[in-house]
Structure 1
Amino acid sequence: MSVPTHPAPGRVLVTGATGSIGRPLVDELSARAVPMRVLCRRPEQVRSFTDRGVEAVLGSFEDGASLREAMRDCDQVFLNTAAGPDQFRHNRDAIDAAVAAGVRHVVKVSASDANPRSAIPWARDHALADDHLTRSGLAWTRLQPGAFTKNLLTEAAAIRRGWLPQTSGHGATGWVDVLDVAAVAVRVLTDPGVQGGSGERGRVYRLTGDRPLSYPEIAGILTETLGHRVRYVHVPGPAFYLALRAGGVPGWQARGLVHQFVDVVRRGQDDGRLCTQDVPDLIGRPATTVADFAARHRAELTAA
């Protein structure tokens, strides 16, 4: 990640440090010697980070006292919560803990389709949490990523066989690599010039590639990049739901995914097609393309 050099920031608390965004974020902050503490749910995670020389503490979004203690003496918090039935509460309690701990600035991972009236649980919860952050009095910056290219790996077995099943039809959306999201987070956490203020003076960055892509278009990109034909296969919404449930996806999440791919992507609701130049503007290089991502994961997406 190549970003400009700025005055050293204060201590950062990183949540979600073992996730697909948090891991590269911690690696880069550590490489830059940024004062940092990571919040871990399990003792073995704490040991793993401390063995690498990264300060780590045990805590949970379920335990407000542990959040406040983890944020003690921290200037900023990187807030990234997992989708789940309690996602809004986790965000709300973390924001409240940041206020109580005297944190100055929160960088929150939100969603490009955040909408308080959405039928998608995580889109609705993000919107409600975003509003809570705006009203908190904290300085804030929201990162609103589009669809994650890493989610294509959930269909790796089908892609290896030449199929890309989805229910989104020819609807298109903006896509982003989680490594680009991490790179943007590094820039925001280390450069006060791109951070937001409090209340309505906060900043929102929408993180996408340069153009919206449909699943049929992605199938074409995979075909060209991987060297074997990949065909888009349209799956009706009810069948898509049943396939998700058969694969072990909880009912609430499966229903949310159907709404996401049918309402937001296929029908173009909630500005799903909107793409920006925020990624290259912030990290100083072009956003990672779907082709770049596929090439990086060629071994996983190509039959032996």
Structure 2
Amino acid sequence: MSEIVAVTGVTGDVGGKTLDELRRMGVPVRAVVRRPEQVTALRARGIDARRADLDDAAALTAALDGVVRFFLVTPVSPQQAEQGAVGVRAAQRAGVRRIVHLSGGDAAEHSPMPWASAAWHTDRSVRDSGLAWTILHPSSFMTNVIPSAPAIRRGWFPHTAGRGVIGWIDTEDIARSAARVLTSDGHDGTEPVLTGPDLLDARGVAAALAAGLGRPLRALHLPSRVYAGVLRLSGVPAWQAEGLRQQFGRVVRHGLDGVDVMSDDVLRITGAAPRGLADWARAHRDDLLG
């Protein structure tokens, strides 16, 4: 494939892994980053890197010059919805032909989580863009377990989700799926739902982590405001802690906005089954246990 694929969010989890996957596939790829030192570091690795902020439509349009396919990954922030709109407009102005958006499995217009509402608004812009498009709806990332590592080392998995279930997914599987969608045909106008192999409640998460780590682990349910307080003490900004409180204490607990949906789209797109949480924990033992 000789068409240039551009990726934003490459200093983050999914964007970075997708960039690496595309490079392994031999795809001409361009990384769009915010800071000059990031450009320098990427170019030192032989990667075409351009500097542009998702708040700057003109700079992003210039960074996308010559790009045919564009993976739009917006960081979780209070400006996420506006940055998504800028990303779509820049793609249109630059002559990009296909846009793939990393949305969320819980994207909803009136979601109490700002990132889920932002994803919904960007999804709408993508659908109305006039470009060929695909929207990826991944479930909750397994890497989101890592901030609980201090409690996990003490034998607990703290949560506020009640008996709510999630199809937790490895971000490696999201990246594999994104790379395939970006480089193959037949995905235009589709919205794959990307999940892991199991729907797990908090007890199931604790059991899977215990199996992967080889040590006992119990789920510890916290009142949602206590859960948010723990997040604040760990350095999470107030707006994000409140969003996470709503995510797990309301949306996941009550199975709202499609968070309890299972799908075989990862297998269908990539030809390989997604990794389970126990296997993921085994591979990330150092991250979880230090």
Letter in 1 for 2:85: R
- TM-score (normalised: structure 2): 0.97
Pair 114,9 (structure 1): closer, same or farther in 2 beyond 3 Å: farther
In the TM superposition, residue 9 of structure 1 has moved relative to its aligned partner by 4.9
Which ranges in structure 1 are unaligned for 5 or more consecutive residues? Answer: 1-7, 197-201
- SS of residue paired to 1:229: coil
Alpha carbons 1:59, 1:70 under 8 Å: kept: yes
- Determine helix, strand or coil for the equivalent of 2:12: coil
Once structures 1 and 2 are overlaid, which stretch shifts more, 255-264 or 21-30?
A: 21-30
Give RMSD over aligned pairs: 1.2
Aligned partner (choices 40, 55, 69) of residue 48 of structure 2: 55
Q: Which runs of 5+ in 2 are unaligned?
A: none
CA contact (8 A) 2:210 2:278 kept: no
- In structure 2, C-alpha distance between the alignment counterparts of 1:68 and 1:99, rounded to whole Å: 8
Residue equivalent to 1:67: 60
What is the aligned counterpart of 2:243 among 256, 271, 275?
Answer: 256
1:80 alignment partner AA: V
Deviations 1:209-228 (A, max 9, x none): 13310111111112222121
1:173 counterpart letter in structure 2: I
Residue matched to 1:82: 75
* One-letter amino acid of the structure 1 residue matched with residue 168 of structure 2: W
Q: Count residues in correspondence.
A: 290
Provide the rounded CA distance (Å) in 1 between the counterparts of 2:205 and 2:217.
9
Mapped to 2, the partners of 1:253 and 1:24 lie a distance apart of 24
Instruction: Return closer, same or farther for 1:71/1:155 CA change in 2, 3 Å cut-off.
Output: same
Letter in 2 for 1:269: L
User: Structure 1 residue aligned with 2:120, among 107, 110, 127?
Assistant: 127
In 1, distance between residues paired with 2:233 and 2:254? Answer: 26
- TM-score, normalising length: structure 1: 0.93
In structure 2, how many angstroms separate the alpha carbons of the residues matched to 1:261 and 1:9? 43
Q: Matched residues in 2 for 1:182 and 1:118: separation?
A: 25
What is the identity percentage for the equivalent residue pairs of Structure 1 and Structure 2? 40
Aligned to 2:208: 221
Q: Give the alignment partner of residue 10 of structure 1, picking from 3, 26, 30.
A: 3
Distance 1:159 1:125 in 2: 31
State whether structure 2 residue 220 is matched by structure 1 residue 233: yes
Superposition pairs for residues 12-51 of structure 1, below 5 Å?
Answer: 12-51=5-44
- Would you identify which runs of 4 or more consecutive aligned residues in structure 1 move more than 4 Å? none
DSSP-derived class of the 2:191 partner: strand
